[in-house]
């Protein structure tokens, strides 16, 4: 569901000459290729088949990875791209998958490959907004990233597995200069996001921002919190987590399958006229000796806010606008103003200020 949006966006760009849709579901990939025209074609690929992945990817300029859940597949796909000598962009949003990806840095540099993990909604836009704010300060103290969404804003099945993974067990955050493990679901607070999401309860959730941002931006504390508009879904998931029904990959698959069966019905309970997915980044630090607080936000439907960023990053790589090599995160290599400008042109609404109502033009 996320990748489909990115493929359509890439197919519409003149700079893209040849677009191969590689998917486990060949029938769906072929249908999309026919819909998008002569520059597109499809092939079956299995992310668990390393040799097959390498041969599929070899010869292209850039590969875009949207195979979730990423705790199963990110390192596998990235490794295949590096071996094939092809630049890589993904929408990976799992903290453990991100940490494994970063271990490929030396290998990617040796291969002359630019591999960028987590160029999506969150991480992705959040990381670049953090970079934008940090670059305006002399000294950064705290970077607080956050997301909130209507559950009905997507039909993607991997999203359900990701959410369950993110709220299970102890998860990493970055506090006072070091990685600290805290219980998922702790640190409850209410944050204002751009409409139509509004003011939502958020809490610590497992995500890559606390893993990557301190690697590239000198900050004392980096946190990520998230939440759903539908509080009853949060409560239901919390019960399942407490019952230890989500603490293995197999259990996550079973519970995720259950949610994906019932969500189409649950999501219609009190469904708003407009749904959305939003992010918010608050950065505090010093400028000219004075404390400064900068706040930025973004909102769109989940498919756009997740996969437009990866499409933009693919295009920027293809245009030669990203020079760094290695296994990287967005804040390390994507020029913030150009990246955000392209997001806005593509339909993502950007805001600044604590109340998240003032439009922001990069």
pTM, rounded to two decimals = 0.90
Identify the residue with better confidence: 2 or 7: 7
- What is the mean predicted confidence (pLDDT) over 243-271? 64
List, for residues 18-76, the tens digit of each pLDDT value.
999 999 999 999 999 999 999 999 999 999 999 999 999 999 999 999 998 899 999 99
pLDDT of 158 over the 60 cut: no
> How open is the CA angle 21-342-42, to the nearest 5 degrees?
5
> For residue 66, what is the DSSP state?
-
Residue with tokens 């940490």: 99
| pLDDT at position 153 | 76
**CA pair distance 288, 277, nearest whole angstrom:** 35
- Please state which of the ranges 65-79, 164-178, 247-261 shows the lowest mean pLDDT: 247-261
pLDDT (0 to 100) of residue 167: 74
Token pair in block for residue 308: 């437009």
**What dihedral angle (degrees, nearest 10) is formed by the CA atoms of 347, 353, 356, 358?**
-60
pLDDT category of residue 249 using cuts at 50, 70 and 90: confident
- Looking at residue 169, its pLDDT comes to 84
Q: If you average pLDDT over residues 209-233, what whole number do you get?
A: 91
Band (pLDDT 50/70/90 cuts) for residue 247 is: low
The whole-number pLDDT of residue 357 equals 97
Summarised one tens digit per residue, pLDDT across range 295-323 is 999 999 999 999 999 999 999 999 999 99
pLDDT band at 349 (very low <50, low <70, confident <90, very high): very high
**Cβ–Cβ under 8 Å, residues 294 and 133:** yes
Secondary structure string (H, E, C) spanning 33-87: HHHHCCCEEEEECCCCCHHHHHHHHCCCCEEEECCCCHHHHHHHHHHHHHHHCCE
Residues of the chain with CATH 3.40.50.720: 2-120+302-348
C-beta of residue 176 within 8 angstroms of C-beta of residue 220: yes
- Name the residue with tokens 């941002």: 213
Q: Distance (Å, rounded) from C-alpha 178 to C-alpha 33?
A: 46
Q: pLDDT of 316-348, one tens digit each?
A: 999 999 999 999 999 999 999 999 999 999 999
Query: Which DSSP state fits 142?
Result: E
3-state secondary structure of 122: coil
Instruction: Quickly state the pLDDT bin for 88 (edges 50, 70, 90).
Output: very high
For 330, list phi and psi in degrees, rounded to 5: -55, -40
Nearest Cα residue to 256 out of 246, 247, 266: 246
pLDDT the model gives residue 99: 96
Homologous superfamily assigned to 2-120+302-348: NAD(P)-binding Rossmann-like Domain (3.40.50.720)
Residue 186 has a pLDDT of 92
Q: Is 135 left (phi over 0), alpha (psi -120 to 50) or beta?
A: alpha
Residue range 74-95: average pLDDT? 97
Does residue 197 contact residue 299 with C-beta atoms inside 8 Å? yes
By 3-state DSSP, what share of the chain in percent is helix, strand and coil, each rounded to 5?
40, 25, 30
Name the pLDDT band for 168 (thresholds 50, 70, 90). confident
Q: Rounded to 10 degrees, what is the CA torsion of 234, 273, 3, 281?
A: -60
**Span 80-100, average pLDDT:** 97
Domain(s) of CATH 3.30.360.10: residues in the chain: 125-300
Quote the CA–CA distance of 332 and 352 in Å, as a whole number.
Answer: 22
10 Å CB burial of residue 106 (0-12, 13-18, 19+) is: exposed
Q: What is the DSSP letter of 273?
A: S
Q: What is the enclosing helix (H) or strand (E) of 295?
A: strand 290-300
pLDDT digits (tens, 9 = 90+) for 175-204: 999 999 999 999 999 999 999 999 999 999
SS3 state of residue 349 = strand
DSSP states of 246-309: SSSHHHHHHHHHHHHHHHHHHTTTT--SS--EEEEEEEEEEETTEEEEEEEEEEE-HHHHHHHH
Q: Indicate the helix (H) or strand (E) that contains 128.
A: helix 125-134
Report the alpha-carbon distance of residue 310 to residue 200 in Å, rounded: 26
pLDDT band at 232 (very low <50, low <70, confident <90, very high): low
Q: For domain 125-300, say whether CATH 3.40.47.10 is its number.
A: no
How far is residue 55's CA from residue 65's CA, in Å, rounded to a whole number?
A: 15
């Amino acid at each position: 569901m996320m990748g489909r949006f990115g493929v359509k966006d890439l197919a519409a760009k003149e700079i893209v000459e040849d677009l191969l849709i590689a998917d486990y579901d060949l029938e769906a990939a072929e249908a999309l290729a026919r819909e998008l025209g002569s520059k597109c074609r499809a092939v079956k690929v299995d992310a668990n088949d390393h040799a097959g992945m390498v041969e599929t990817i070899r010869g292209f300029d850039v590969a875009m990875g949207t195979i979730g859940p990423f705790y199963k597949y990110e390192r596998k796909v990235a490794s295949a791209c590096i071996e094939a000598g092809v630049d890589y962009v993904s929408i990976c949003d799992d903290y453990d998958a991100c940490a494994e990806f970063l271990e490929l840095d030396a290998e990617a540099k040796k291969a002359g490959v630019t591999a960028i993990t987590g160029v999506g909604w969150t991480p992705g836009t959040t990381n670049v907004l953090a970079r934008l704010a940090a670059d305006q300060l002399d000294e950064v103290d705290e970077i607080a990233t956050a997301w909130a969404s209507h559950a009905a804003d997507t039909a993607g099945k991997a999203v359900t597995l990701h959410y369950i993974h993110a709220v299970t067990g102890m998860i990493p955050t970055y506090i006072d200069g070091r990685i600290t493990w805290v219980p998922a679901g702790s640190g409850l607070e209410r944050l204002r996001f751009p409409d139509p999401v509004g003011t939502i309860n958020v809490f610590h959730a497992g995500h890559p921002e606390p893993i990557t941002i301190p690697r590239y931006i000198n900050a004392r504390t980096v946190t990520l919190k998230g939440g759903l508009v539908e509080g009853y879904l949060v409560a239901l998931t919390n019960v399942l987590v407490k019952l230890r029904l989500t603490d293995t990959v197999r259990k996550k698959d079973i519970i995720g399958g259950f949610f994906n069966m019932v969500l189409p019905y649950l999501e219609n309970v009190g469904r708003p006229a407009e749904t959305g997915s939003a992010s918010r980044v608050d950065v505090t630090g010093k400028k000219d000796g004075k404390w400064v607080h900068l706040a930025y936000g973004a909102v769109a439907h989940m498919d756009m806010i997740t996969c437009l960023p990866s499409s933009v990053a693919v295009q920027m790589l293809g245009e030669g606008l990203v020079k760094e090599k290695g296994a990287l995160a967005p804040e390390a290599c994507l020029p913030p103003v150009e990246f955000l400008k392209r997001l806005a042109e593509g339909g993502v609404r950007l805001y600044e200020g604590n109340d998240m109502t003032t439009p922001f033009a990069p």
